[in-house]
C-alpha cells in the first residue's frame, strides 16, 4: 500500500466516523429504529475494515523504510543525466578499463552518478542509473533486504567491528541516599567484512552497437537478479563459512515447536508461543519467514470458531498476516524452520562501489562482449534478542 492509498483509507474511515456521530446525535436519548440499527452496524463494520487496512498499510510502509532510504541515497540530486549516459559509458569502455557505479560517484560532470528529478515537485524519482536500478533489483530478490533489513554503504571493504547485543541492561529500585546499582547490556564484538559477489553477462556486439536498445536496462535485468539471489540467500540462511552469516543461523533457538505431522491445534499453539518468545519491544516490527510448504500449512489453521488465523492482504503490495504479523516466504527456507524476527536488526553492508568491466577478448570468436559485475557485501544480526527460530521436531 502506497502513501496515497493509505491516506484515502484514513479519509474514508473519518467519513464513516462522522456518519456514525451524526446518527448517534440524531437518536440521542431515544431508541433507534431497525433502519438506524442496520446503518449503525454497517458503519461500525466499515470502520473496523478501514482500521485493518490502515494498520496493514502502515506495517507495509514501515517494512520498506530501510529500502526506501537506501534507494534515496544511491544518487545525487543533480539534473540532466539519463539512462543513456550510463549506457554510453558502458559501450565505450576500453580494454582493461573499468568503471565504478556507487552513491556519489561514477557519472556526470560533477563526479556523481545522477538520476532524474521531477521538475514540478523537485523530488527525486525512481533511480534510473545503473547502480540504482541494480540495487533495486537486488533488494527485491532478497527476502531479508526487501522486508526491512538495515542497509549501510561503505567506501571500502575492510573489516568493521560491531557490538552485537545479547542481553539488555535493567534498572532497579534505589532507596533514598542509596547507591545506584550498575547494569550493562550484554554485548559481544563481531566483525562484518565484505564478500565478493560477481556475475558476467554476455551480449552480442550488435546489441552493444544498437543505440535504440536499452543497454542499462538489459544488463540490470540480467545481473541484478543474479547478484540479488546470491546475496539474499546468504543473508537469510548463510552459515558464516566463507559467506555471510544469515539471520536464520544467528537467531536464538525457540522453545516452541511441533512434531512433524501434528494436528492443526498443535501447530497453531506453537506458532503463537513463538510469537510471545520475542520480547514485546520487537513484536510490532517482527515478521514470520517460512518456506512455501510451511506457509501452505499456516494458511489452513483455524481458531475454535472456524476462522482462519491467516489473513490475506486486501491491497496490492501489503503482506499476508498470521496472528497480526506479516508472513513472507523464501525458497531457501527449510521446511522444518520458522523464523520470527525484527528484520531491521539485520545489517547489510554494501562495501565499495559496484564495479563493471568489459572484455572483448573472452568471447572474441563469437563476436560477443562480456560485462563483469562485482559487488562486495556482508551481513550481520546486531541484536540477538530480536530473532527466534522454531525447529519442527521429527516424527517419533
3-state helix/strand/coil string of 2-23: CHHHHHHHHHHHHHHHHHHHHH
pLDDT at 67: 45
State the pLDDT confidence band at 125, using cuts at 50, 70 and 90.
Answer: very low
pLDDT at 391: 97
pLDDT at 76: 36
Closest by CA to 236, choosing from 254, 224, 250, 253, is 250
**Residue that wins the pLDDT comparison between 316 and 123:** 316
Instruction: Write the DSSP symbol of residue 384.
Output: G
State the pLDDT confidence band at 90, using cuts at 50, 70 and 90.
Answer: low
Is residue 342 helix, strand or coil?
Answer: coil
**Residue that wins the pLDDT comparison between 172 and 371:** 371
What cell was used for 347? 545489517
**Residue that wins the pLDDT comparison between 97 and 126:** 97
Q: Which helix (H) or strand (E) holds 53?
A: helix 34-63
pLDDT at 112: 32
pLDDT at 14: 82
Angle (CA) 135-136-139 rounded to 5° is 80
Given a cut of 50, whether residue 304 has pLDDT beyond it is yes
| Each residue's pLDDT tens digit, 328-383 | 999 999 999 999 999 999 999 999 888 888 888 888 899 998 888 889 999 999 99
| Each residue's pLDDT tens digit, 229-242 | 999 999 999 999 99
With beta carbons less than 8 A apart as the criterion, state whether 142 and 228 touch. Answer: yes
Handedness of CA 161, 162, 164, 170 (dihedral sign): positive
pLDDT at 252: 94
**Residue that wins the pLDDT comparison between 332 and 126:** 332
pLDDT at 272: 94
pLDDT at 296: 93
With beta carbons less than 8 A apart as the criterion, state whether 206 and 76 touch. Answer: no
pLDDT at 244: 96
Amino acid at each position: 500500500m502506497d502513501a496515497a492509498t493509505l491516506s484515502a483509507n484514513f479519509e474514508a474511515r473519518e467519513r464513516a466516523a462522522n456518519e456514525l456521530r451524526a446518527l448517534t446525535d440524531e437518536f440521542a436519548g431515544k431508541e433507534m429504529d431497525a433502519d438506524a440499527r442496520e446503518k449503525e452496524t454497517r458503519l461500525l463494520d466499515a470502520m473496523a475494515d478501514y482500521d485493518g487496512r490502515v494498520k496493514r498499510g502502515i506495517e507495509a510502509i514501515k517494512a520498506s523504510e530501510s529500502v526506501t532510504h537506501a534507494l534515496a541515497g544511491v544518487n545525487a540530486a543533480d539534473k540532466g543525466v539519463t539512462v543513456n549516459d550510463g549506457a554510453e559509458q558502458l559501450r565505450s569502455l576500453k580494454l582493461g578499463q573499468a568503471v565504478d557505479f556507487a552513491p556519489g560517484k561514477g557519472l556526470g560532470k560533477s563526479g556523481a552518478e545522477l538520476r532524474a528529478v521531477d521538475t514540478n515537485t523537485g523530488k527525486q524519482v525512481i533511480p534510473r542509473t545503473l547502480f540504482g536500478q541494480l540495487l533495486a533489483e537486488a533488494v527485491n530478490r532478497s527476502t531479508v533486504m526487501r522486508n526491512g533489513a538495515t542497509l549501510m554503504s561503505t567506501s571500502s571493504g575492510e573489516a568493521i567491528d560491531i557490538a552485537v547485543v545479547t542481553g539488555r541492561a535493567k534498572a532497579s529500585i534505589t532507596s533514598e541516599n542509596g547507591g545506584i546499582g550498575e547494569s550493562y547490556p550484554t554485548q559481544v564484538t563481531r566483525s562484518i567484512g565484505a564478500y565478493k559477489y560477481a556475475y558476467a553477462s554476455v551480449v552480442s556486439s550488435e546489441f552493444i552497437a544498437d543505440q535504440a536498445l536499452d543497454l542499462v536496462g538489459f544488463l540490470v535485468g540480467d545481473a541484478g537478479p543474479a547478484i540479488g539471489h546470491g546475496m539474499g540467500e546468504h543473508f537469510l540462511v548463510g552459515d558464516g563459512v566463507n559467506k555471510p552469516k544469515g539471520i536464520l543461523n544467528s537467531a536464538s533457538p525457540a522453545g516452541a515447536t511441533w512434531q512433524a505431522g501434528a494436528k492443526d491445534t498443535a501447530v497453531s499453539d506453537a506458532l503463537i508461543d513463538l510469537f510471545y518468545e520475542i520480547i514485546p519491544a520487537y513484536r510490532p516490527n517482527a515478521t514470520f519467514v517460512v518456506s512455501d510448504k510451511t506457509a501452505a500449512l499456516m494458511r489452513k489453521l483455524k481458531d475454535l470458531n472456524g476462522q482462519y488465523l491467516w489473513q490475506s492482504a486486501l491491497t496490492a503490495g501489503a503482506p499476508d498476516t498470521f496472528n497480526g504479523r506479516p508472513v513472507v516466504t523464501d525458497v531457501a527456507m527449510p521446511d522444518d524452520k520458522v523464523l520470527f524476527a525484527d528484520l531491521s536488526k539485520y545489517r547489510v553492508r554494501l562495501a565499495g562501489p559496484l564495479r563493471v568491466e568489459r572484455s572483448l577478448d573472452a568471447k572474441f570468436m563469437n563476436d560477443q562482449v562480456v560485462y563483469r559485475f562485482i559487488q562486495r557485501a556482508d551481513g550481520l544480526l546486531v541484536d540477538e534478542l530480536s530473532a527466534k527460530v522454531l525447529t519442527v521436531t521429527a516424527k517419533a
